[in-house]
Amino acid sequence: MTANIHPAAHVAPEARLAEGVTVGPGAVIGPDVSIGAGTSIGPGAIIEGHTTIGRDNQIYGHAVVGSPPQDKKYEGTPTLLRIGDRNVIREFVTINPGTEQDRGETTIGNGNLLMAYVHVAHDCLIGNDNVLANTAQLAGHVEIGDFVTIGGMSGIHQFVRLGDHAMVGGGSMVTLDVPPYCTAVGNRARLHGLNLIGLQRRGFDADAIQRLKQAYRMIFRDGLRFKEALQQVRDTFAGHADVMKLVTFLESSERGVARPGR
């Protein structure tokens, strides 16, 4: 089975389309694009630049994937965009490749849902199984872990990191790192405890959730100095990978960490 390309689509002869790729009417595929088996490209979508897309993705109409970074420092050096497997990229989503000033690559993993009008700027690193709701906007150099939910109409400042299983409430403006397992809401976003529903849905048992609750209280609520709190959590929960993930994230923050609201 070869690629199924609509007669009204414009596919560069040099583009590499695997078996089972479908391309809708009016779509444009550039010469340096590679698309994996089973991926569908909707009507009017534009896939350009040095872009590699994996298997079984759904890219809906009028998405623009791989267009040049919206960065004044960008001078046209070929940079990369890599998208994994089984992602759903809805209408009017825009995704830019990297820049030579950073990684030179924007990376999106597997199983993500990017709802309509989401923007992913240059040099972002997005993991797996995340949900970015309508009009969520990621500035450059943002890093997102796995199983993260970003509410609609939210903005994520450049260089911010969102840890695994974090949740950002709709309409938030996030300017500092959001730790794993936590919920952040507001302008500028503050922490509002753990993402308990998300953790339960991901199969965290009662003991794991209790550990994370206790660690959260020790770090953010018990009045300890930050470094002292992290060391105390390390000592208390040594050997528990879930809590150590939280501690490691906090220790590695360069931008600073969102704190609980008052």
The pair phi, psi for residue 187, each rounded to 5°, is -125, 105
Residue 248 amino acid letter: T
Task: Give alpha helix (H) positions in the chain.
Answer: 196-201, 206-220, 226-236, 241-251
Active site residue: 50, 119, 122, 157, which one? 122
Active site residue: 30, 38, 66, 123, which one? 123
- The total of other beta-carbon atoms located within 10 Å of residue 241's CB is 9
| 129 noted as active-site residue | no
| 102 noted as active-site residue | no
Spatial CB neighbours of 227, under 8 Å, sequence gap ≥ 6: none
Query: How many whole angstroms from its chain centre is CA 174?
Result: 14
Active site residue: 36, 140, 145, 163, which one? 140
| 62 noted as active-site residue | no
- Burial letters 70-82, b for 16+ CB under 10 A, else e: ebeebeeeebbbb
Asked if 83 and 113 touch (Cβ cutoff 8 Å), the reply is no
- The total of other beta-carbon atoms located within 10 Å of residue 201's CB is 11
Point out the residues that are catalytic.
122-123, 140
